[in-house]
Chains A and B, each alone.
Chain A
Amino acid sequence: MQEWIINGLLAVVTLLALVLQAIGTKPSAGMTKKQKKMLWRILAASALLLVLQLLGTGVFAPLGAAGRWVRLVVYLVDYGIVGHDILRKAGKGIRNGRVFDENFLMAVATLGALALAVYENGDYLEAIAVMLFYQVGEWFQSYAVGKSRRNITELMDIRPDYANLEQDGKVERVDPDEVAVGTVILVQPGEKVPIDGVVTEGSSSLNTAALTGESLPREVKAGDEIISGCINMTGLLRVRTTKEFGESTVSKILDLVENATSRKSRSEDFISRFAQIYTPAVCYAALALAVLPPLVRLFLLGLDAGWEIWVYRALTFLVASCPCALVISVPLSFFAGIGGASKAGVLVKGSNYLETLSKTRVVVFDKTGTLTQGVFEVNGIHHNEMDDARLVEYAALAESASSHPISKSLQRAYGREIDRSRVTDVQEISGNGVTAKVDGIPVAVGNDKLMDRLGVTYIPCHSVGTILHIAIKGKYAGHIVISDRIKPHSKQAIEALRAAGVQKIVMLTGDADKVARQVAETLGVDQVYSQLLPADKVDKVEALLADNAGSNAKLAFVGDGINDAPVLGRADIGIAMGAMGSDAAIEAADVVLMDDDPLQISKAIKISRKCLGIVYQNITFAIGIKLLCLVLVAFGVANMWLAVFADVGVMILAVLNAIRALFVKNL
């Protein structure tokens, strides 16, 4: 019965190797040379083993006494085909002082089993099969990891290879590094934008998925800013570069992605320390298992020592103990988690931050630019008798000389080119507003104080924001409310954070109390602190950290990267939003959200939870099965076959589970 199962297994492995080899000839399969070579070795070894099995030991009988040794040589050749690299690596490891690793375990276990078989002139099959299945497991692991790694890097492949320069009507490809600031480059449909710049000619849709994870294309036309790393989808664009390649968004992001993961998480440290203690420990345990019970039987119980049984058990114990599943899958989970996060537009600087992020219970927001747009807009026009558009026109023209953000927002609301010649007699009254003549008509635009000063009765406003009263020809003409707009997803983002288990949400702002309270109420924030200077924000975060001290809960600070660097550094984890172009944010933050969307924060937390969940699953699952196997083996319930299947099976399951951390789309 067992014979049939074994033959069947060998046949399956042989067939599988053949099929995979055929698949491997196609370049799309993405098999490396090393993997193909290993596959040939597996194929040859399993086929030879199958032939030997089918022929049976009978074929060697006619050779007489020499038959035993011929048979041994044939099996040794087979062993060599499949396992020579493991033996070599184990030898190298011993020479380099790294004795106890998985190669050593496998080499000792299989060589020991072979020696035992030679001594008994018994079954060589087992030792070779252990090596064979171990290699099959390693191969699958390497292939699965390589394939998913390539999938993710292809998605993140935003490095532009060249820039197109137009010279004498001819297009020339040059290294983006050599393009000077202010040069006009050509971006054809299907090409990546190599350098940040401004579109001078043409219009097109851009695919920004690789940068922001946002699948909706972005439309650009002449005059728009364009960031490198986007893919030009439809039209030909001429772009005047505003930065050098090294300073462009794409370079900064690549730098960030490639530099990530240098900081190790506690789980990874735990595993590497665990492996350092565990492997020598099981080796000594195996030695004790081989030596102690026979000695006890021999001297204390007066029984037959039964060396073969105990040595066999000890060797099986070594096979079962191999810690590959843990050692391989835990770092892989973190790599996959960070890779999956960057695919979603969340750049995490190291696996320790992924770990901290998963424990976030308090989120502190900076208001401007994070929960709100950070761009002032005309939000309301009240008590006016003339057309809204006309009122805005007067106000915009009167304020046209000013470079204040308020004036900019009026100009944006006006939407047309300002004709400065229509404005005369501009008088700026500091802290009050502006008076001017527009088309010869006297216009006054300003706050309450200006109206009082001019003796115009005005109607106070209940809305929150900056109120601009307007008087035309000395008569009150209404007021315009200018305020910062809450981002469309802010409220949803706060709700999503609560759903993700965040217990406290705090908002800090330098803005006026009234504005801060209104935003906090709309969004449902727990606590709000207003009129803070940058240094006050650090104090507040420190106070919140002190409240939290001692508990496992972590505090995250979310800012837009402008003036936030000290706070980002002080919090347990600093999250910067809208990283495009803000160097300070990329430097100071631990997590960078490529998008301005606050919803990404809860997504980042969910990704980290999933990744950490997988890590813990793998740790408990692998250690649990290992311990169970070791106990079974020590009591002689399990043989070497079971041990190798447990080992390879756990490894493959753990690796597949780890790769799951890559898939973050539906979180």
Chain B
Amino acid sequence: MKKTYKIEVDCANCANLMENAARKTTGVQNATVNFMTQKMIVEFEEGNQPESVMANVQKACKKVEPDCEIYL
């Protein structure tokens, strides 16, 4: 399953850091952060609830970039 989330991030490098953090989160098959359109596209592994996975993704992103925002 694939879902798109609106995000807020100030710098292109932070977007890359968020992307890497999201990819390493369990339950995430693949993640793309588009800085230009301020979107995060997350592909979930099967059998995972997007809500619970996204909570972890958000936590992981806040770790690498405290200023970022993901609108769930």
Contacts and interface: CB of A to CB of B under 8 A. Distances in A.
Contacts, number: 71
A261 interface: yes
Nearest to A157: B37
B12 A145 contact: yes
A153 B36 contact: yes
Interface string B35-72: 11111010000000000000000000001101100000
Contacts of A257: 34, 36-37
B26 interface: no
Contacts of B10: 34, 142, 145-146
Contacts of B38: 149, 153
Contacts of B8: 32
Interface stretch (A326-334, A433-441, A478-486): A326-334
Contacts of B34: 257-261
Which label, helix, strand, loop or mixed, suits the secondary structure of the B interface? mixed
A342 B71 CA distance: 26
B71 to A, nearest CB: 14
B32 A96 contact: no
Contact of A331 (B13, B30, B64, B66): B13
B67 A34 contact: yes
Nearest to B8: A32
B16 A272 contact: yes
Contacts of A259: 32, 34, 41
Given A328-B11, A331-B16, A332-B12, A258 B66 contact: no
A338 B35 CA distance: 11
A338 B34 CA distance: 11
Contacts of A173: none
A149 B36 contact: yes
Contacts of A92: 63, 66
B66 A88 contact: yes
A271 to B, nearest CB: 8
B15 interface: yes
A156 B12 CA distance: 18
Interface string B14-36: 01100100000000001010111
A264 interface: yes
B36 A335 contact: yes
A330 B13 CA distance: 8
B65 to A, nearest CB: 9
Contact of A258 (B12, B41, B64): B41
Given A88-B66, A339-B36, A258 B11 contact: no
Nearest to A339: B36
The range of chain A's interface size is 20 to 34
A398 B37 CA distance: 55
Contacts of A260: 34
B43 to A, nearest CB: 10
Contact of B35 (A34, A268, A331): A331
B19 A262 contact: yes
B37 A153 contact: yes
B66 to A, nearest CB: 5
Interface string A130-171: 000000000001100110010011001000000000000000
Contact of A268 (B16, B63, B66): B16
A149 B35 contact: yes
Nearest to A153: B37
A334 B39 CA distance: 17
B30 to A, nearest CB: 8
B16 A264 contact: yes
B67 A335 contact: no
A98 interface: yes
A504 interface: no
B35 A335 contact: yes
B38 to A, nearest CB: 8
A274 to B, nearest CB: 12
A498 interface: no
A258 B35 contact: no
Interface in A304-331: 327-328, 330-331
A143 to B, nearest CB: 10
Contacts of A68: none
Given A88-B66, A92-B66, A262-B19, A327 B13 contact: yes
Interface in A89-122: 89, 92, 96, 98
Contacts of A334: 12
Count chain B CB atoms within 10 A of each CB in A32, A257, A262, A332 and give the residue with the most.
A262
A331 B39 contact: no
A618 B36 CA distance: 20
B2 to A, nearest CB: 9
A327 B17 CA distance: 11
Interface of A: 32, 34, 88-89, 92, 96, 98, 141-142, 145-146, 149, 152-153, 156, 257-262, 264, 268, 272, 327-328, 330-332, 334-335, 338-339
Given A34-B10, A258-B4, 20 more contacts: A92-B63, A142-B10, A145-B12, A149-B35, A153-B37, A153-B38, A258-B39, A259-B34, A260-B34, A261-B35, A264-B16, A272-B13, A327-B13, A328-B12, A328-B13, A331-B15, A331-B35, A335-B12, A335-B35, A335-B36
Closest 9 CB pairs of A and B: A331-B12, A262-B32, A332-B12, A96-B63, A142-B10, A339-B36, A327-B13, A335-B35, A335-B12
22 contacts: A32-B8, A88-B66, A89-B66, A89-B67, A92-B63, A142-B10, A146-B10, A149-B35, A152-B36, A153-B38, A156-B37, A257-B34, A258-B32, A259-B32, A261-B35, A262-B32, A327-B13, A332-B12, A332-B13, A332-B35, A335-B36, A339-B36
Interface of B: 4, 8, 10-13, 15-16, 19, 30, 32, 34-39, 41, 63-64, 66-67
